[in-house]
Chain A
Amino acid sequence: MKKTLFDKIWDAHVVETIPNGPDVLYIDKHLIHEVTSPQAFNELKERNIPVLRPEKIIATADHNTPTIDQHLPVKELLSRNQLKELSRNCKENNITLYGLGHAYNGIVHVIAPELGITQPGMTMVCGDSHTSTHGAFGTIAFGIGTSQVAQVFASQCLLLEKPKKLRINLNGKLKKGVLPKDVILYIISKLGTNSGTGYFCEYAGNIFEEMTMEGRMTVCNMSIEMGARGGLIAPDETTFEYIKDRKFAPKGTEFENLKAYWKTLKTDTDAIFDKEYSLEAEEIEPMITYGTNPGMGIKLTGTIPSNLGKSDLKSLEYMDFKEGESLINKPINYIFIGSCTNSRIEDFRIVAAYIKGKKKAENVNALIVPGSQQVAAQLRDEGLVQVFEEAGFILRQPGCSACLAMNDDKIPEGEYCVSTSNRNFEGRQGQGSRTILASPLTAAATAIAGKITDFTKHLN
Chain B
Amino acid sequence: MEKFITLKDTAIPLMIENIDTDQIIPARFLKATDKEGFGENLFRDWRFDKNGNPNEEFSLNDKKYTGSILVAGDNFGCGSSREHAAWALKAFGFKVIVSSYFADIFKGNALNNGLLPVQVSKEFLDVLFKSILENPKSELKIDLGNQKIEIPGKNLSEKFEIDPYKKTCMINGYDDIDFLISRKKAIKNFEEKQLESRTSGQAQEV
Contacts and interface: CB of A to CB of B under 8 A. Distances in A.
Contacts of B33: 38-39, 42, 81-82, 85
A420 interface: no
A258 B200 CA distance: 10
A30 interface: no
Given A39-B35, A147-B109, A193-B78, A311 B104 contact: no
A370 interface: no
B131 interface: no
A268 interface: no
A82 to B, nearest CB: 6
A210 to B, nearest CB: 27
Interface string A416-460: 000000010111100110000000000000000000000000000
Contacts of A231: none
Nearest to B28: A406
Nearest to A256: B201
B194 to A, nearest CB: 7
A64 B33 CA distance: 12
B17 interface: yes
Interface stretch (B89-97, B137-145, B177-185): B177-185
Interface residues of A, number: 78
A161 B26 CA distance: 29
A139 interface: no
Nearest to A309: B17
Which size class do B's interface residues fall under? 35 or more
A197 to B, nearest CB: 6
A425 B23 contact: yes
Interface in B58-106: 73-75, 78-84, 86, 101-105
Given A21-B165, A129-B80, A229-B105, A426 B45 contact: yes
A194 B180 contact: no
Interface in A122-154: 127-129, 143-148, 150-151, 154
A18 to B, nearest CB: 6
B113 A147 contact: yes
A43 B20 CA distance: 26
Contacts of A8: 205
A49 B105 CA distance: 24
Given A20-B165, A155-B187, A311 B103 contact: no
Nearest to A161: B163
A329 interface: no
A427 B26 contact: yes
Given A12-B205, A431-B50, A404 B177 contact: no
A147 B174 CA distance: 13
Contact of B190 (A21, A26, A193, A227): A26
Contacts of B2: none
A12 B206 contact: yes
Chain A to chain B: the 8 pairs with minimum beta-carbon distance, closest first: A257-B201, A21-B165, A155-B180, A147-B112, A145-B109, A38-B33, A78-B31, A145-B83
